[in-house]
Amino acid sequence: MRIIDQPKVYLVAKTQLLAEGLAAYLKDIGSPDWRPDSAVSDGENLIEAAGRMCYRSWQPYDPDKPEATNPNVTDIRRGNRQYTGNVLKSGHGSILEHVCMTFICRNVSRVFTHELVRHRAGMAYSQESLRYVRLDDLSFWFPEAVKKNPRAHERFRDVVDFLEKTQKELAEIFGLKEINDFTTKKHLTSIFRRLAPIGLGTSIMVTGNLRAWRHIIAMRTSEAAEEEIRIVTGQIAQICKKEYPNIFQDMTCDESSGVWQFTYPKV
């Protein structure tokens, strides 16, 4: 058995703004007095551009720029933080859906992945296949209460060791080593996983848009949520705040409880 110290999250992709494409569009609509702020992330510039496109609010009204401006707009909010702050306050969160972040969650259990995949709106998943990947080396993360209780810890270890041994025994019983046909190997591997613990360590790649991540962070770092998903979504929250400080400007962490809260929970 391989003991997992802590499940870990890796940010592996995020939405990129194509400055040339946006500049070409802005030129074609009459070159409004607005451009992406180089001090702001691509994603936040893109979200601002989406909002300003909706209302033609790139700049105050200019009759010489009819496609870029709007007589209803005499003044505008300047600066990405102020602009996106107002989007959050107004609950116009659909524009946050243009920006996605992709994470690989490593050494997470199937307890965690099963809970995570319940989030459907704005999400995409690719999960390690336990039909293909043979479980001859089980990894396992022990919840805090188990770590602190020697008897429970020993019992957990015994059961995981036993289940790992069972996987190896089954492979032997079915002569898995000698089988070359991939379909048969997959079929058997899938049978054996039925005797694997739900707490075994595995991996999942997950993509979500920023509106969805806000929702998931709020639900899954809450004290009512399960221990492991709280740890993993807490790591995701930290990365979100670092990468997109303006979109997550209303999100704060209560250090004592690990709960991440939002001033505007529904955007």
Ligand X SMILES: Cc1cc2nc3c(=O)[nH]c(=O)nc-3n(C[C@H](O)[C@H](O)[C@H](O)COP(=O)(O)OP(=O)(O)OC[C@H]3O[C@@H](n4cnc5c(N)ncnc54)[C@H](O)[C@@H]3O)c2cc1C
Residue 121 near ligand X by CB under 6 A = yes
| DSSP collapsed to 3 states, 38-59 | CCCCHHHHHHHHHHHHHHCCCC
The 73-102 site mask, x for binding ligand X (CB under 6 A), equals ------------------------------
Angle in degrees, CA 264, 265, 267, rounded to 5: 75
Is 110 tagged catalytic? no
Q: How far is the CB of 207 from ligand X (least distance, A)?
A: 13
Do residues 230 and 116 lie in contact, with contact meaning Cβ atoms separated by under 8 Å? Answer: no
Judged by beta carbon, residue 118 or residue 147, the one nearer ligand X is 118
In angstroms, the CA 204 to CA 220 distance is: 17
Nearer to ligand X, 78 or 118 (CB): 118
User: Which residue is catalytic, options 52, 56, 214, 220?
Assistant: 220
Q: To the nearest whole angstrom, how small is the minimum distance from the Cβ of residue 15 to ligand X?
A: 19
Least distance CB 211 / ligand X (angstroms): 9
Is there a contact between 59 and 235 (Cβ–Cβ < 8 Å)? no
CA–CA distance, 160 with 166 (Å, rounded to integer): 10
For ligand X (CB under 6 A), the number of binding residues is 9
Stretch that binds ligand X, among 2-10, 118-126, 155-163, 238-246 (CB under 6 A): 118-126
Tracing tokens 């940010």 back to the chain, one arrives at: 11
Question: What single-letter amino acid sits at 152?
Answer: A
Among 81, 92, 119, 134, binds ligand X (CB under 6 A): 119
Q: Which residues have a Cβ under 8 Å from the Cβ of 163 and sit 6 or more positions away?
A: 138, 195, 196, 197
Interacting positions 217-256 with ligand X (CB under 6 A)? 219-220, 224-225
Q: Which residues are designated catalytic?
A: 220
Under the rule (CB under 6 A), what is the footprint of ligand X? 118-121, 215, 219-220, 224-225
